[in-house]
Structure 1
Amino acid sequence: MTALESVRRRPRAFWSDARFFLGVVLIAASVAGVWFVVASARQTVPVFAAAHTIVPGEALSGDAMRVVDVALGQVGDAYLAPEALEEGQVATRTIEAGELVPQSAVGAAGAATVTTVVVRSTVDVPASVDTGTVVEVWSAPLVERGVYDTPRILVADATVAAVTRDDSMIGGGAAALELVIPRADVAAVLAAMSAGAALSIVPTAGAGR
Structure 2
Amino acid sequence: MESRRQNAAEELPKPAAHRLQRPSWRDSRLVVGVLLVLVATIGGAAAMRHYDNSVEVLQASHPLVPGQQITASDVHAVKVRIDKAGGTYLRADDPMPKGEVLREVRSGELVPRSAVGRSGKVQVKAVALPVEASQSSNLVKGSVVDVWVSTKTQSKVGQDSYAAPTRIIGRATVARVPSGSSGFSVSSDSGAVHVLVPDDKVAAVLEAVNQGAKVDLVPAAGSPLKGD
TM-score (norm 1): 0.69
C-alpha contact 1:166 1:172 (8 A) present in aligned 2 = no
Q: Give runs of aligned pairs for residues 11-160 of structure 1, distance below 5 A.
A: 35-36=45-46, 38-40=48-50, 45-66=55-76, 68=77, 70-72=79-81, 74=83, 75-81=85-91, 83=94, 85-88=96-99, 90-122=100-132, 124-125=134-135, 128-145=138-155, 146-160=160-174
1:69-106 deviation line (CA, Å, top 9, x unaligned)? 52446423221125364422x22322222332122322
C-alpha contact 1:55 1:159 (8 A) present in aligned 2 = yes
Pair 147,69 (structure 1): closer, same or farther in 2 beyond 3 Å: closer
Give the Cα separation in 2 of the matches to 1:85 and 1:138: 38
The Cα of 1:124 is off from its aligned counterpart by 2.6
The Cα of 1:126 is off from its aligned counterpart by 6.5
The Cα of 1:143 is off from its aligned counterpart by 0.9
The Cα of 1:190 is off from its aligned counterpart by 0.6
The aligned counterpart of 1:6 is none
Give the Cα separation in 2 of the matches to 1:49 and 1:94: 13
Give the Cα separation in 1 of the matches to 2:165 and 2:153: 12
Question: What is the one-letter code of the residue matched to 1:150?
Answer: A
C-alpha contact 1:54 1:94 (8 A) present in aligned 2 = yes
Q: Which runs of 5+ in 1 are unaligned?
A: 1-27
1:45-89 deviation line (CA, Å, top 9, x unaligned)? 4432223211123222334234x252446423221125364422x
C-alpha contact 2:172 2:195 (8 A) present in aligned 1 = yes
Partner-residue secondary structure (3-state), 1:77: helix
Normalized per residue, the structure richer in strand is: 1
Deviates more, 1:77-86 or 1:100-109: 77-86
TM-score (norm 2): 0.64
Pair 71,143 (structure 1): closer, same or farther in 2 beyond 3 Å: closer
Q: Which runs of 5+ in 2 are unaligned?
A: 1-38
Partner-residue secondary structure (3-state), 2:170: strand
Partner-residue secondary structure (3-state), 2:98: coil
Pair 137,47 (structure 1): closer, same or farther in 2 beyond 3 Å: same
Pair 37,115 (structure 1): closer, same or farther in 2 beyond 3 Å: farther
C-alpha contact 2:175 2:195 (8 A) present in aligned 1 = yes
Deviates more, 1:138-147 or 1:54-63: 54-63
Pair 70,87 (structure 1): closer, same or farther in 2 beyond 3 Å: same
1:12-60 deviation line (CA, Å, top 9, x unaligned)? xxxxxxxxxxxxxxxx9xx96x645521466764432223211123222
Pair 37,162 (structure 1): closer, same or farther in 2 beyond 3 Å: farther
Question: What is the one-letter code of the residue matched to 1:153?
Answer: R
Larger Rg: 2
Give the Cα separation in 2 of the matches to 1:110 and 1:149: 37
Identity, in percent, stands at 30
Give the Cα separation in 2 of the matches to 1:73 and 1:204: 30
C-alpha contact 1:53 1:132 (8 A) present in aligned 2 = yes
1:128-180 deviation line (CA, Å, top 9, x unaligned)? 42211110111111112301111101212310112126564xx1699621111
Give the Cα separation in 2 of the matches to 1:205 and 1:107: 28
